[in-house]
Amino acid sequence: MQRETKSLVWGIILILIGFLFLGHNLDWFNFDWNELWPLVMIAGGLFFWIGWLSNRREFGLLMPGTILMVYGLMFQYSALHGWYYMDELWPGFLLGPGLGFFFMYLLGNREKGLLITACILIALSVIFWIGEGFRYFWPVLFIAIGIYLLFKSRSRKPEVPQEPETTNEQPGSQ
């Protein structure tokens, strides 16, 4: 980013933070820092993404930006709705880096290792997120596939051999 742009962005941020705290101190609105601190993580993640947008060659900024945003969203949800939800949200700790690797692959130089790592972490996250319900899902999936295969084989019509095509042309007349 150019120096003027950086000064402008930081100036706006500081003014907004100042108004936020002034409004809280003057009782214009109320906020509880214990519920809002994850927004700082989300904002930090956005700044990494903005840094990447200003210089697309720095795709390494996507990893910390994505991790901070995913973790910030998880913490924000827990801060607002109860920290006991972390026992269900913990697979997000795998999802954050998984998405980071995926965005580095997608928006970077397309290294195969980044995509493989992303797929492994995202798949593990999804598997762990499904959790207890997962053990009921697989048997039902096998039953459904089995039923599909049974009906598919029964509904298939027997193949009738086709006769070779004949033409009305005389041999040697072209």
> Could you report the per-residue pLDDT of 1-35, keeping only the tens digit for each?
566 667 777 788 788 888 878 887 887 777 777 77
pTM, full prediction: 0.65
Averaged pLDDT, groups of 10, the chain, 174 residues long: 70 81 79 82 92 90 97 94 90 96 94 95 89 70 81 65 64 58
Q: How far out from the chain centre does Cα 103 lie?
A: 9
Q: Is 97 in contact with 71 (CB distance < 8 Å)?
A: no
Strand (E) or helix (H) holding 108: none
Indicate the domain borders of the chain.
Answer: 1-31, 34-151
Structure-derived torsion over alpha carbons of residues 4, 10, 12, 18, reported in degrees to the nearest 10: -150
> Rounded to an integer, what distance in angstroms lies between the CA atom of residue 172 and that of residue 174?
6
What per-residue confidence (pLDDT) applies to 16? 80
